[in-house]
Amino acid sequence: MTDKPDVFISHASPDKDAFVRPLAEALRRLGVAVWYDEFSFELGDSISQQIDRGIANARFGIVVISQAFISWNWTQHELRGLVSRDVDQDIRIIPVWHGVTKKDVSYFSPSLADKFAIDTSQVDAMEAAIRILRAVRPDL
């Protein structure tokens, strides 16, 4: 994994099989440097240290917002790190709504609800990856 990933993917584990892993794999195949837990952790790594490093070094934060994401404490920690960097203008958050509505997102985080998002009820992982590619690596 590169030290400077293009994207950091924040997600809840229950969403891996249905959407997040296919998204991460599609982004990698398209040439995007991806920080994703299954690609980025090695045996013995400190989980919190690697996540903090991924957030600190990524240019974009992809936040896959689902009911599981909303209810998990760990994802809230990642989101706070990404929002902190977003406020400082050195990272851009790309929200992905996975099984949630604008109302759900608004209740959870009004600032995330205000951002243009990808809705997985309308696109699959590959189409989402292509849209993300256009934003994060227009050179490709």
Contact criterion met (CB below 8 Å) for 120 and 128: yes
Tokens of 92: 């851009």
Q: Which residues pair with 63 in a beta bridge?
A: 10, 95
Q: Is 78 a catalytic residue?
A: yes
User: Of 25, 38, 42, 78, which is the active-site residue?
Assistant: 78
Q: Which residues pair with 35 in a beta bridge?
A: 8
Q: How far is CA 8 from CA 26, 37, 93, in A?
A: 14, 9, 9
For residue 132, the Cα-to-chain-centroid distance in whole angstroms is: 10
DSSP result, 27-86:
HHHTT--EE-HHHH--TT--HHHHHHHHHHH-SEEEEEE-HHHHH-HHHHHHHHHHHHHH
Residues recognised as catalytic: 78
